[in-house]
Structure formats: structure tokens, C-alpha cells
Amino acid sequence: MISVAVLLSGVAVLLAAAVAAIALKHSPSVTRVIYGATLIVSLAIAATALHHLVSAAAAPSLIALPLGLPWVGAHFRLDALSSFFLFVVGSGSAASSLYGLGHGLHEKAPRRVLPFFPAFLAGMMLVILADDAFTFLLSWEFMSLASWALVMAHHHDRDNARAGYVYLVMASFGTLALILAFGLLAGAGGGYDFASIRAAEHTPHLDALVLALVLLGAGSKAGLVPLHVWLPLAHPAAPSHVSALMSGVMTKVAVYGFVRLIFDLLGEPTWWAGMIVLILGGITSVLGVLYALMQHDLKRLLAYHTVENIGIIFIGLGLALAFQANGMNWAAALALTAALFHVFNHALFKSLLFFGAGAVLAATGERDMERLGGLIHRMPYTSIAFLVGCVAISALPPLNGFVSEWLTFQAILQSPELPQWGLKIMVPAVGAMLALSAALAAACFVKAFGITFLGRARSSAAETAEEVDRFSLAAMFAFAGLCLLAGILPGFVIDGLAPVTQSLVTGRMPVQTEIPWFSIVPIAESRSSYNGLLVFVFIAISATLAVLAIHRFASHAVRRAPAWDCGWPDPSPETQYTAASFAQPIRRVYATYAFRAKETVEMPAPGDRRPAQLVVRLQDLVWDYLYEPIAGVVGLAAGRLNELQFLTIRRYLGLVFLALVSLLTVIALWT
Amino acid sequence: MDGLIFDIAHLLAGGLVLVSFMMLYQDRLYALLNVYALHALVLALSVAWQAFAQDAPHLYVTALIALVFKAIIIPVALHRMIARLGIHREIETVVGIGPTMLAGMGLVALSMVVMLRVTAAADPMAREDLAFALAVVLLGLLMMVTRRNAVSQVVGFMSLENGLVLAATGARGMPLVVEISVAFSILIALIVIGIMLFRIRERFDTVDVHALDRFRGERR
């Protein structure tokens, strides 16, 4: 009661801040005031949620307000699951506000951002707190619309306008699917609060339908392939700290929606539900990273990586469903912990990377990697923080990304104990896909970091870039530090997640914090264990020793020799390795089929002094073979239905009449 | 006694459906208005009988409203309107009488099937009443669809409303306030429609809605 009241008043302050942003729009300090307020409120909310998760053993805290629909009211509830997600959202929002304190000053149209930013935060938090279908859907739509307004902040850009349009269509579609899912869950009795949905009995057919609808609704918001198309358009279009929120946090709210509906409200899962989620997750992770590798726009690359990471999270969730359906609660807890741990990790490093991309954008005005380079000299702090994010997202020890992916693999290794042959075969295949996507992600971030920060500047903007302000750096380093902490002390996170798994799959992983030396042991010591601290200390000591050894024992004599020509044949930075050339081998291997990549060399005729050109054409099959036909059918239907606007009065009456009679006929035949 | 009460209620409600059928084949406007007055009269009787049967005195007020407004004022007003518009000699047939009657029978059968199945648990008197009321509503709609003259469309609408009143009185517990407000809204609708009719007539020299369609340049 008290915690949820505190959280709701925090949300109310955020909404008030949104109104204040409109009222204070002429004040010169409005940016500082708004971001300062959201920073404080977000920190308070994250702290309250964390306190509730850790202390109260996550006994649910309820409140019902006389708002919303009459006789229904608005129910709010804080349990283990929602306090975990609220902590993720709160910390992401806090860092984003901190970053906004500095980055927001570069904003050309602050009036288009400031009122919607607190509203967006409030929307996400309300979704997590909601305890009845009406409040949930209302907050969900509020969140979507607020983020849409933020995507449209720079609406003069044609690409942004298109991104906003696609986003709006997909968001409405997703909400529609969720409305239908809730309608099915509530049934004819119409108990729309979560407590009565949870108590109701559901038939297997209904289960399948609800799963499909939730995958459409929450999946479209999270970015599951093939519903991901809006994501790489919309996320980069927003201002960078909002991109970080959308990519790092809002997709997590979608994951929350999925977990709440499928694990909590729907009740006992079936094994094929896990199989479907697992396969979708596998496909999403591989395709997401392949898309990302083809991108040269830094923010769009990051957005595609969100798709990949959502895939990894859904692999974990699918495994948890499959294990739970077979009564293997300890394994389900392991898989669910892995998925939720990855939720937390991805919120950290994706926000961090978007902050870095935003810093690069603010310093150079460029998002295209082919026009960057050499920024490590101009922006040393940003590049260190970005490097930490890259290492974390590439799942390299000792950072946090490794831990959650390792836990996911541990869950995959339990698959031989599953009774169904379909799962026994499919889970290792998905494991292979996960391994592939992890490797490709590493390649992708070598490209992202290497092309952007190493080498020589490819444009004058990159050559004259300045380090960004302290607020931005503080936000980046805060998250970089958290990435490292979660990586070397993962036991605390795993134990923090225990109440969540306990309430959802009635199982938990072994207590980790009592194991000496901060090791983590997913199942039993004899099977596997990992110690992030040890890896970190080893890397630190061996690197220090290597540096010392080189400085101590290497020759100090200066030698002069001609540079290795292949490295620097030409002083022009154009001759450097580019993002496209880095991606070429992978493109040739995978994208020839996945995206129908075609390379053509346009060779000028002898005597013609034009330079030769290499043209690469990629085709997005999902867009061409799924969305284009749907758009065509919708357009055709709209064209036909348009004639309905010009009928005679009698025909309109006739339509009403026919509709009535046919509905009555349906009733007559049905009952 | 119960059997007799039920039978009379059944008879009156069935009579309303029968009068609806009579309206379907009236192709002269004055005759149509007379049948409509009869329709309203039967409705008033039926409501009054329901008041007696259910022992609900406020339904007598409803019956009185039906009698005064629907059986007297509205037919007289429409009568005058037709006289002033000078269309009392017009004959209109859009769909032939035979097919219309057949369609009407189909609708009655449909409403019986739907209502008797859906309300299986309800009191038998209310069931019959609801089934007949739905039939009257559907027949009123059918009339609106098959007629071309604006006045007969108005009459179709009024008879549809009679069906609603029948349904409302059959189901127990309809408050009087609702009933009165519905009656007044129908009266106001009549006034609005009357004004519209004269405006249409002023502009197009006819109340055949086909002329409106031609004016909008639509193909038919």
C-alpha cells in the first residue's frame, strides 16, 4: 500500500512536470528544471522499487483509485515482477534525464521534447503498475503516443515523418491485439481486473489464441521479427536520450507485458507455447544482428541490435515456458532469471550505447559511420564509455552481457531432460542460433567502435569534434560502472530476481551470495560455475603485468623506418577500411540469402575518366513480402469501401437493415 | 384467468404484427396513415392490457401517450402535411408487394427463432411480447427500405418505434420517465422531419428521395 502510493505520487509528479514544461516554455532554464525533476523522481522510483524487491520479500502492495471506468476504478499493484521492471525503468529514466541535462541543451526544438519526456516516463511506469486491463491498456497507449510525439520531435525531416507514421500504425495494431487478448482472458463474465483474470479457468484453445495475440501485441512493441520494422525507423529518429529510453527501456516494458500476460495471468503453459516463443526468439536474434551488420548509421545499427537482444530475451522466456510446462521448475527459474537478467543488462548497455551515439551526434552532427573516425583522440571519455558498452553487448567477460547469455546457455544445456522430442531437437538448434548471433554481435561492435572511434577522421566534422559535457559523461559512466558491477558481482542480481521467479514459476535458482568468492553456480558446482570477479582480476593483473613488462623490458631505442606501405599508401582518409568493407565478408556469406544482397561493379568504358563504382543492393524480404502485400490489400479495400461514402439514403438504410438481419441470423443459427 | 390474460396479450401483440403487414402493402398515402393510426391504436390497447396484466399503473400513462400522440396527433399532422404537399394521389411501388410480403414473413420467422431461443429462461408472456416486438421493428425497417417517398419512410420509422414501445412494456420495470422522454423525442423527430420534408419539397418540388440522389449526381 505504502510503496505503491509513493510510486503513484512519483508518477503524478512526472505528469505535473509534463504540464509545467508547457507552462514554462518561455523560461530559459526550463530544460534544466524538467530534466532535474525527472532525474530526482526517477531515482526515487527506482530506489522504492528496489527496496520493495529486496526487503519485503515482494509481498504485493495494492491500491485502487476511483479513476477511469465507473464501477471498475483503477487498480494498481506492486509485486516482485513489477518492482523489478520498475527498477529497470526507473534507473533507465534517471540516466536518461541526467544525460538530458547536458544533451538537452543542444535540442533545436525543446518545446517538442520537454512536455512529452516526463509523460513518456509516467506512461511506462503506469503500465508496470497497472492491475486491471483497462488501466494497463490506457497506460500502454499513453506510452505509445507520448513516444510517438517524441519520434516526431524533428518532424520536418521526411524520414522521421515516415518513421512516425509506421510507428503509429504498428503501435495501434499492437494495442488492438492486446485489447483482444484481454477480452478473451476476461471472458464473457468481463472481470477485467488482473486478480479475477488470474483466478479464471482458461481452455487450451483460448490459450493458443491469447498467446498469438500477445505475441502480436507485446511482440510488435518489443520488436520481434517480423514485427520489428518500425523499430529501426522510429528509435533513431527521436532525440538520443529518448532513443536510449525507447530502445533500452520501452522494449522492456513490452517484455513486461508479455511476461505479465503469459506467465502470470494465463496460468499453466503448454510445451508448444514455449517452442513457438523459442523459435521466434531465435529467428529474431539472428536476423536482428544480420540487419545490424548491414547498417552504417550508428543509431540505426543500435536499434537493430535491440531487435537481436529482444530475441535473446525471448529465447530465455521460451525456455522458461517449456521447462515450466514439464514441471522442471528449477530449470524454468534458471531460464527466466537469464531472460530477466538480460532485460536488466540490455537496459544498461543499450542506453549507454545510445548515449554514446548521441554524444557523437552532438559533437559531429553525423550519424553515418562512414563520415566518422578517429574520435578516440577527440573524445577520449566518450570512447571509453562506448567501448565498455560494446564489450558488454558483445557478451565478453567480465561484463554483464556475458553473464546473462551464459545463463541462457546453461538453460539450453538442460534441454536433454525435456520429454518432448520436438523441444529436444529444437532447443539445441536455437542454441546454435544464439551462439551465431552472439558472435556476429561481437563482429558488429568491432565495426561500430572501430570505424567510429579508431583510425583517422573521415570528415572535417569528425576532425574538429569536442568532448561532450559533464552531465552526458556522468550518465554514460554511471551505466558503464553498473555494467561492470553487474558483470563481476552477478550473484546479487540473481538473488534479487529470486522473488520474481518464485512468484511466476514457483522455483528459484540456488542462493548465490553465500557462495564464496562471488562465484555463481546455476545448478550445482559439479556442472558449471562462473566467477566474474576472478576473470576481471585476472584480466586486470595480466594486462597490468603485460604493460609493465613491455615498458620495463622492451627496447627504448628509437628506430626510424619507412611505414608499412599497405597501411598508409595514401594520406587521404578515404583509403581507410570502411564500415561497408568490414561487413563485406559477412554480407557475402549470410546476406546473399537473407537479404538477396547483390553487388555490381560499374566499370566505366576505356577512355572514360569516371571512377568505377561498387553498388550493393539489399532487399528487405520482410518488408517486401509481408508488409507490402498487406499495405496493398488494405489500400485496395479502402478504395473499394470509399464508395460506401456516396450511397443513396435508401441504400444506407438497406445496409443497416441487412446488417441487423444477418446478425440476427447468426444468433439464430448459433444458439 | 392466467390463460385468458396471456391469450389476450398474445392476441394484441400478434395483431400489431398483422397491422404491420397491412402497412407493407398500402401504396396510397392516406390509406397508409389510416393503417398507421390503427397500428398505434392496437399498440395502445396492448400496452393497456400489459398494464392490467402486470398490475403496473404507470403503463396506463404510456398507453394514453400512445393513443393521444401516435394514434391521433401524428396521423393528423401527417395527413395535413400530405394535403399541403399535394401528394395524396401519389402511388409508389419500389419493390413488388409479393416479394415484400414474403420478405416480411421471413423476418417474422427470424425474429421468432431468435427471440424464443435467446429468452428461453424468461417469463412466457415477456417472451412472446419480445418476439412480436422484434418482428414489428424489422417490418418497420423493411418498410423504410422498400419505400421511396419520404412520408412513407417517416411512417415506417414511426411503426418501428411502436415496436420498441411494445418491447419496453413487455419487459417489466421500464421507468415512466424513460417512456415519456421517448414519446417526446419521437414527437420532436416528427417535427424535424416535417420541416425537412417541406424544405426538400421547396427545393426539389417533390418528396421522392430519388430526386435527392439525382441531385447529388449519383448513379443508381
For residue A664, the chain B residue with the least C-alpha distance is: B114
Residues A534, A633, single domain; the answer is no
Q: Which amino acid is at B9?
A: A
Sign of the Cα pseudo-torsion (A300, A301, A305, A308, in order):
positive
Residue A241 forms part of a structural domain? no
Label residue B220 by pLDDT band (50, 70, 90): very low
B109 interface with A at CB cutoff 8 Å: no
Q: Do A648 and B212 touch (CB under 8 A)?
A: yes
Residues A539, A650, single domain; the answer is no
Interstrand relation of A613-617 and A598-602 (parallel, antiparallel or unpaired): antiparallel
Determine the 3-state secondary structure of A214 from DSSP: helix
Residue A596 forms part of a structural domain? yes
Q: Give the DSSP H/E element, type plus range, for residue B9.
A: helix B2-24
Q: Do A648 and B220 touch (CB under 8 A)?
A: yes
- Rounded to a whole number, what is the distance in Å from the CA of B56 to chain A's nearest CA? 31
CA A459 vs CA A380, A384, A446, A581, B194: distances in Å: 18, 22, 21, 18, 77
For chain A, 671 residues long, the average pLDDT of each consecutive 10-residue run is 84 92 86 93 93 76 80 86 94 94 84 92 94 92 94 89 93 94 83 85 84 94 90 91 93 95 87 92 93 91 94 95 91 94 95 94 90 90 95 92 94 89 91 94 94 88 89 94 93 90 86 81 81 91 94 82 63 79 88 85 87 86 90 94 80 87 87 69
A668 interface with B at CB cutoff 8 Å: yes
B145: chain A residues, CB-CB within 8 Å: 650, 653-654, 657
| C-alpha–C-alpha distance, residues A371 and A29, integer Å | 34
Q: Do B148 and A650 touch (CB under 8 A)?
A: yes
Residues A377, A492, single domain; the answer is yes
| C-alpha–C-alpha distance, residues B112 and B122, integer Å | 14
Residues A605, A636, single domain; the answer is no
Residues A451, A505, single domain; the answer is yes
Residue A334 forms part of a structural domain? yes
Determine the 3-state secondary structure of A230 from DSSP: coil
Range of the domain at B25: 2-215
Q: Do A648 and B148 touch (CB under 8 A)?
A: no
The string of DSSP codes covering A478-499 is: HHHHHHHHHHH-HHHHHHHHHH
Residue A538 forms part of a structural domain? yes
Residue A469 forms part of a structural domain? yes
| C-alpha–C-alpha distance, residues A213 and A235, integer Å | 24
- Rounded to a whole number, what is the distance in Å from the CA of A72 to chain B's nearest CA? 26
Residue A373 forms part of a structural domain? yes
| C-alpha–C-alpha distance, residues A502 and A330, integer Å | 10
Q: How confident is the model over B161-203, as pLDDT tens digits?
A: 888 888 888 776 666 667 667 777 777 777 777 777 777 776 7
CB-CB contact of A89 with A50 (8 Å): no
**Radius of gyration, CA atoms only, chain A:** 26
Beta bridge partners of A63: A76
Range of the domain at A661: 628-670
CB-CB contact of A337 with A414 (8 Å): no
| C-alpha–C-alpha distance, residues A61 and A3, integer Å | 7
A662 interface with B at CB cutoff 8 Å: no
Residues A458, A330, single domain; the answer is yes
Beta bridge partners of A598: A617
Beta bridge partners of A74: A65
Long-range CB contacts for residues A275-278, cutoff 8 Å, separation at least 24: A275/A318, A275/A322, A275/A422, A275/A423, A275/A426, A276/A211, A276/A215, A276/A318, A277/A215, A277/A314, A277/A317, A277/A318, A277/A321, A278/A314, A278/A315, A278/A318, A278/A319, A278/A322, A278/A423, A278/A426, A278/A427, A278/A430
Residue A517 forms part of a structural domain? yes
Residue B28 forms part of a structural domain? yes
Q: Do A668 and B212 touch (CB under 8 A)?
A: no
- A297 φ/ψ angles, rounded to the nearest 5 degrees: -90, 120
| C-alpha–C-alpha distance, residues B37 and A56, integer Å | 75
Residues A585, A485, single domain; the answer is no
- Please count the other Cβ atoms lying within 10 Å of the Cβ belonging to residue A565: 8
- Please count the other Cβ atoms lying within 10 Å of the Cβ belonging to residue B159: 28
Residues A424, A527, single domain; the answer is yes
A657 interface with B at CB cutoff 8 Å: yes
Q: Which one, of A353, A351, A318, A352, lies nearest residue A335 by Cα?
A: A318
| C-alpha–C-alpha distance, residues B33 and B154, integer Å | 11
Average confidence (pLDDT) over B39-68? 87
Residue B220 forms part of a structural domain? no
* The total number of structural domains that make up chain A: 3
Binding-face residues of B in 88-107 toward A, CB within 8 A: 94, 107
Residues A384, A512, single domain; the answer is yes
CB-CB contact of A78 with A86 (8 Å): yes
Residues A543, A412, single domain; the answer is yes
- Rounded to a whole number, what is the distance in Å from the CA of B60 to chain A's nearest CA? 32
Interstrand relation of A61-65 and A613-617 (parallel, antiparallel or unpaired): unpaired
The CA-based dihedral angle spanning residues B150, B156, B157, B158, taken in that order and rounded to the nearest 10 degrees: 110
Q: Which one, of A114, A92, A95, A94, lies nearest residue A104 by Cα?
A: A114
CB-CB contact of A463 with A438 (8 Å): no
C-alpha cell at A354: 545510445
| C-alpha–C-alpha distance, residues A287 and A308, integer Å | 7
CB-CB contact of A362 with A103 (8 Å): yes
Determine the 3-state secondary structure of B208 from DSSP: strand
- A616 φ/ψ angles, rounded to the nearest 5 degrees: -115, 125
Q: Chain centroid to CA A412: how far?
A: 22
B114 interface with A at CB cutoff 8 Å: yes
Residue A112 forms part of a structural domain? no
| C-alpha–C-alpha distance, residues A596 and A586, integer Å | 13
Q: How confident is the model over B98-146, as pLDDT tens digits?
A: 888 999 999 999 998 888 887 777 777 778 888 898 999 999 989 888 8
* The total number of structural domains that make up chain B: 1
| Per-residue confidence (pLDDT) for residue B1, from 0 to 100 | 52
Q: Do A668 and B114 touch (CB under 8 A)?
A: yes
Residues A354, A499, single domain; the answer is yes
Residues A491, A633, single domain; the answer is no
B216 interface with A at CB cutoff 8 Å: yes
